[in-house]
Amino acid sequence: MNGAEAVIACLELEGVETVFSYPGGAVLGLFEALSNSTQIKNVLTRTEQGATHAASGYARVRRTAGVCIATSGPGATNLVTGLATAYMDSIPLIAITGQVSTSMIGTDAFQEIDITGITRPIVKHSYLVTDVKTIPSVIREAFYLATTGRPGPVLIDLPKNVADAECRAQIPGKIDLPGYKPTFKGHKLKIQRAAKVLQNAKKPLIYAGGGVVSSGAEEVLQELAHRIDAPVAVTLMGKSAYPFRDGYFVGMLGMHGAPAANLAVSECDVLLAVGARFDDRVTSNVEKFAQGAEIIHIDVDPAEIGKNVEVDVPIVGDAGAILRDMLEVLEPAEHQAWRARIESLRPMHSDAYADLPGAPLHFRDVIRKLNRMTKGKAIMTTDVGQHQMVAAQFFNAGRRGGFVSSGGLGTMGYGLPAAVGAQLAAPDDTVVCITGDGSLQMTMNELATAKAHKLPIKIILSNNGNLGMVRQLQKFYKGGNYFGIDLEGNPDFSKIAEAYDMAYLCVARPEEIEPALQQALDNGRLTLVECLIDCEEMVYPMVLNGCGLDEMVMADKQ
Amino acid sequence: MKHVLNVLVQNRAGVLVRVAGLFSRRGYNINSLTVGVTENPEISCMTIVVEGDDRIIEQVTKQLHKIVEVLKIKDVTNDEYVGRELLMLRVLAEKEDRVEIMKMCEIFRIKIVDINRKSFIIEATGNHSKLNAIEEAFRPYGIQEMSRTGIIAMVRGDNKAARRD
């Protein structure tokens, strides 16, 4: 067995069933070994970036580490955006790159690049394998690191001669990482203190993030919310952290959050943050965020605690484990007045929530219909921009890990390849990709991957001929001096669909939404639904720079 | 405020870059960084002098802990510790100055390690301020060349926390 075969054998031992890859000269051995694997399905994407996003989508739906493979040099550099995306959103990913032979490293050989150097700030850990004997321990450690504690991407750089060398190493019995000991159980006294603070709260609010999803703490969070009678606001990454049908759900908070959620943050007296990191898109002006509230912060990464806001009760550990321990000590509470106040905020809808005459088709109506028709059971991936925020506002993620979006890095081009990964992870589920004309064109090449694997992804395209979110920013911050955002030269998307053998549907008026979506959801094929949206449509509410969450812009100035 | 951190790391390729990269990426102000082996060949000790308020130092420590090869971090700033730096300087030593320079070396209890027709190389160890004083004392004669290391530090007494067996 050579090094490459050892790598594939170790991947099999880790239970890997799918890898997303792009071959090249430095990974010929790996691909040969891969061709002999009966367990692992190889998915050839159309760029390495697509492979990382697909692996990320796969990881989020399957709740395991996603694996991608690329060759040295440009193959490796093309992974950078995908690794950074996964790093910012704490998605477990294993990236294996080919490298020139160890004797050639440092000589600027053909397709040589220092990929461990380039990616150092955007991976949880990385390896340059110089000794074939270490392969089994490296792969085991990589999966352990990627999936435990705060998950994240791990890169393994494998020089050609190491891949070709004879490997007789044993699979290590236990993992030896003396410097890596993620905390799982929360500190008992801290949990008691948090429980006491919650018990004394008059207006408690739970702020749930992606950590709830990656910890699998959805159910225990729901139990806790009911126990202490506290409404729950979620972040973009935590969209599926709380069941939307439950009366405690107040929606997404932040820059384009639901008014009820944003106002609840400003009014609460105790804020319980679970697996969330007080990102600037959530807090807006930190000084004004949850000003009067005592803050309890649960996070698996100690470095997140106290990083952006001062916290009264910090608890480090796994969200699920801590919430379960909390339930042991929490008495049931009732906050009728506070709940009533939240209910009174709900109807305070901005323009975005009402059907105003004017533009014939609003993208939010497409999402709302989609919501009703899929009953919240679909997996939704999104790209980045206005369509993403509309999707986040109006799509109810009813399925575990059912909302797959690039939150931290805001990577345009994430949606389609992530949908490819998501559909492969859940072949029987409906996967919809919400995208814009700018984002889609960044990774549109992955349509070929979807076609090759007969993936019935439903791509819902919001086409406004503009880079809409940048347009919105220019409207608010640059006095409407629109520049560099007109996507003139856009292709005829119906012909794109035809070229990839997709079903194509166009929606130009509100009454066309339902029949088009019905057809798309029923046809069992790769489908493009193009929605023609007015470029003047803005996403509201919007919290402007420097403002508090309670200072939302709710509609266009008339 | 300056903090002195003793950081024990696994002695592996790439650790130094990971630590240094962390400081630059997160915009922390590093004054000096010294790395060397410890009594255990598999473990190195980095002594990092970093500037910042308590909040920043807390972040630095937490972020350092996230590096997989980092085993232990001790902020020794508020402990009784011995901190030493090494200084070497080549000072101009004309005939008429030689005796005086040698006297000064005696006073400072430092060594002349090389003698040339026109200059001495002087070696000194000590804490930061002592070496600053030495530097200033020799400056009037003309310092031709100077090199200083960062600090290495060790807590005085029976430091239980430092035991690593």
- ipTM of the complex model: 0.89
Rounded CA-CA distance A286/B18 in Å is 30
Chain A residues touching residue B66 (CB < 8 angstroms) = 301, 303
The total domain count for chain B is 2
Choose the final residue of a domain: A296, A313, A345: A345
Q: Do residue A73 and residue A99 come from a single domain? A: yes
- pLDDT of the residue at B157: 86
Mean pLDDT of B54-81: 94
Q: Do residue A198 and residue A154 come from a single domain? A: no
Of the candidate ranges A6-10, A353-357, A441-445, B24-28, the one whose mean pLDDT is the lowest: A353-357
Confirm whether A467 is domain-assigned: yes
- pLDDT of the residue at A358: 56
Q: Indicate which CATH number applies to the domain containing A242.
A: 3.40.50.1220
DSSP tag of A372: H
Of residues A256, A232, A264, the one with CA closest to residue A246? A232
The yes-or-no verdict on residue A339 having pLDDT over 70 is yes
| CB contact residues (below 8 A), chain A span 494-553, against chain B | none
Confirm whether B158 is domain-assigned: no
Confirm whether B157 is domain-assigned: no
Q: Is A182 at the interface with chain B, CB within 8 A?
A: no
In contact, A311 and A296? CB cutoff 8 Å: yes
Q: Do residue A446 and residue A359 come from a single domain? A: yes
What is the band of B165 on the pLDDT scale with cuts at 50, 70, 90? very low
| pLDDT tens readout for residues B73-87 | 999 999 999 999 999
Of residues A352, A438, A343, A436, the one with CA closest to residue A394? A352
Confirm whether A545 is domain-assigned: no
Which pair of tokens denotes residue A501? 């053998």
The number of helices, as runs of H, and strands, as runs of E, in chain A is 23, 20
Range of the domain at B135: 82-152
A and B: number of Cβ contacts within 8 A: 36
Range of the domain at A445: 355-539
Which helix (H) or strand (E) is A161 found in, with range? helix A160-164
A174 is catalytic: no
**Cβ contact (<8 Å) for A179 and B59?**
no
Rounded CA-CA distance B126/B131 in Å is 6
Q: Which of A1, A14, A111, A291 is catalytic?
A: A111
Q: For residue B14, what are the CA distances in angstroms to A55, B26, B73?
A: 27, 18, 18
Choose the final residue of a domain: B79, B100, B135: B79
Q: Rounded to two decimals, what is the model's pTM?
A: 0.94
| CB contact residues (below 8 A), chain B span 6-35, against chain A | 9-10, 13-14, 17-18, 21, 25
Rounded CA-CA distance A421/A413 in Å is 14
The yes-or-no verdict on residue B163 having pLDDT over 70 is no
What is the band of A355 on the pLDDT scale with cuts at 50, 70, 90? low
Mean pLDDT of A19-35: 97
The yes-or-no verdict on residue B158 having pLDDT over 90 is no
| pLDDT tens readout for residues A76-120 | 999 999 999 999 999 999 999 999 999 999 999 999 999 999 999
Confirm whether A173 is domain-assigned: no
A111 is catalytic: yes
Which pair of tokens denotes residue A362? 């609003």
Q: Indicate which CATH number applies to the domain containing B39.
A: 3.30.70.260
Mean pLDDT of A303-313: 95
User: Nearest Cβ partner of A121 from B21, B55, B62?
Assistant: B21
Q: How many other C-beta atoms can be found within 10 angstroms of the C-beta atom of residue A222?
A: 20
Chain B residues touching residue A178 (CB < 8 angstroms) = 10, 71
Q: Indicate which CATH number applies to the domain containing A140.
A: 3.40.50.970
Of residues A156, A172, A77, the one with CA closest to residue A124? A156
Q: Do residue A313 and residue A193 come from a single domain? A: yes
Question: Who's near A137: CB < 8 A, 6+ residues apart?
Answer: A169, A172, A175, A176
